[in-house]
Amino acid sequence: MADILFPISTAPGARPGEGAGRLINAYAEKLQDGARAGFARRRAPGLRLLATATEVGMRGMHFHNGTLYIAVAERLRKVTLSGSTYTVTDLGALPGTGRVTFARNNKSPTPDILCTTQNDTYVVTSGAPPVALGDGDLPQALTGCFLAGYFIWAIRDGRFFFSGINATTVSALDFGKAESRPGGILNAVPYGEMLLVCGPSFLEFWQNAGNATGSPFSRAATFAGVGLASTFAIAGFEEGFSNIVFVGNDNGVHLLSGGYTPTKISTPDLDRLIEAVSDKTQLDVTVSVTSGHSWVAVTGPTFTWEYEVSTGLWHERASYENTRWRAVCSAQAFGGWVLGDRTTGRVWMLDPNVHKEGDDPLIASFISQPASGFPNRVAIPRADFDFIVGQGKVSGSEPIETDPVVLISWSDDGGATFKVPVSRKLGPLSKFQTRVTVNRTGMAGPYGRVWRLDLSDPVFVSLLSGQMDGDPRSR
């Protein structure tokens, strides 16, 4: 029998027939030496509903002292947990619908929390409506962050302003300016103990030099010649995450991890998707962590690709009846990672033990590399797939949780079209002898055979490998 090769990193190719397999809502995890396969391909973590705001569209979030602040359309709300119950409370108007940034200082005993929107910067408290900072010395900022005792605001003209130490006051003279290349800046974020100033064609690294006047930070001698695609096409500086990932002006995705030189991590397939986005403000990056996996989701108007930092592997994300993932914005909160929703007021917890997205199925798709006998045709009387079977539940929704199935289809034109799928059982709980086999699947052409396995039933899923019988025929 010949091996059916499933990918460990998604690679759809520019056109059907040249790809090397796809993973959609599924990722590959390396197994220990001695396992019966090198990798397990598992369903991506699901979304467990925590709370729902009335307004739609997440703009940003921040967690402090047991309170999750969420900016939604025109409002600021907070989410708190009492026992096992999450409560959403309206705090008041927060004008606008665009993305926002939150920052918190170290003032004792009560830190200041600021939220920077496209209209103003607001002071946030847990028991009152947000109040405009109202400092005439601070120009309208794109974003705000906190580093080394200072609130820092990025201004589109290339300046970035500093507050007083652990204060919200601003002097019109306390700013630095990026000048390595023209074009102003799009964002400024913490990068370890440094400030990463992001322009449309450069990155500058600024260090706290303790300057008495103007900017307390001074620019390092080096800079990177790749820029930021748009203001929110960068993430990884959030508390609980340790690597910065951004979409560059070269249509590539880059990783910054401790040095001054970004490492390109995207593949040509993803680069083409990004290049096709004419309005780069539609790109965003969201980070999260589950079970030791550090996830980075890069989303455009029609796609989401997710990167696992420790393995360097990519997979695709697509929510039900959509081509991209619904999650946007994130924060480490309530013992895990919380994410917002693009089109509703829902707040989610990313959970590897949940196999749905709320009430919607989370369909994991495993699409194999083409098994080709080019230029000959190949008869394929049988194919077997090595799943971890017997994972149905004792109780739950019948039959999708108690007696789950996989839908198996195949393509003989390089993945352009697939046959009508057939259903095969994965076994109720502890039925470990279940076989996943299809017979009499016809003749593969010169493009070879591509297999597609789709699983929507909400149970644990792990695909190890596959094999098929092949009988080559003459042309």
Please say if the pLDDT value at position 119 is more than 70: yes
Can you tell me the mean pLDDT for 60-73? 97
Q: What is the DSSP string of 268-332?
A: HHHHHHHHT-S-GGG-EEEEEEETTEEEEEEEETTEEEEEETTTTEEEE---TTSSS-SEEEEEE
Q: Rounded distance, CA 428 to CA 149, Å?
A: 56
pLDDT of residue 473: 66
Can you tell me the mean pLDDT for 34-61? 96
pLDDT of residue 444: 87
Query: Among residues of the chain, what percentage have pLDDT more than 70?
Result: 98
Report the DSSP beta bridge partners of residue 87. Answer: 80
Task: List Cβ neighbours of 22 (8 Å cut-off, separation of 6 or more).
Answer: 7, 10, 11, 12, 316, 365, 366, 367
Q: Rounded distance, CA 270 to CA 266, Å?
A: 6
Instruction: Give the burial string for 220-241 (b: 16+ CB within 10 Å, else e).
Output: eeebbebbbbbbbbbbbbbeeb
Among 206-210, 287-291, 412-416, 423-427, the range scoring the smallest mean pLDDT is 412-416
Can you tell me the mean pLDDT for 93-119? 96
pLDDT tens track for 131-152: 999 999 999 999 999 999 999 9
pTM of this prediction exceeds 0.85: yes
Q: Quick check: 348 and 49 in contact, CB under 8 A? A: yes
Please say if the pLDDT value at position 79 is more than 60: yes
Q: Quick check: 314 and 306 in contact, CB under 8 A? A: yes
Please say if the pLDDT value at position 385 is more than 90: yes
Please say if the pLDDT value at position 310 is more than 70: yes
pLDDT tens track for 387-405: 999 999 998 899 999 999 9
pLDDT of residue 172: 96
Please say if the pLDDT value at position 100 is more than 90: yes
pLDDT of residue 279: 98
pLDDT of residue 472: 67
Report the DSSP beta bridge partners of residue 194. Answer: 191
Residue with tokens 């509703």, as numbered in its chain: 344
pLDDT of residue 373: 65
pLDDT of residue 17: 85
DSSP E strand stretches across 56-202: 60-64, 67-72, 75-82, 85-93, 101-104, 113-116, 121-125, 128-132, 143-147, 150-154, 159-163, 170-177, 187-191, 194-198
pLDDT of residue 158: 97
Query: Among residues of the chain, what percentage have pLDDT more than 90?
Result: 90
Q: Which domains does the chain have, with CATH numbers?
A: 2-44+364-473 (2.60.120.260), 47-354 (2.130.10.10)
Q: Quick check: 342 and 326 in contact, CB under 8 A? A: yes
Averaged confidence pLDDT in the chain: 95
pLDDT tens track for 427-474: 999 899 899 999 999 988 788 899 999 999 999 999 999 999 977 665
pLDDT of residue 396: 87
Can you tell me the mean pLDDT for 17-38? 94
Give the 3-state secondary structure of residue 395. Answer: coil
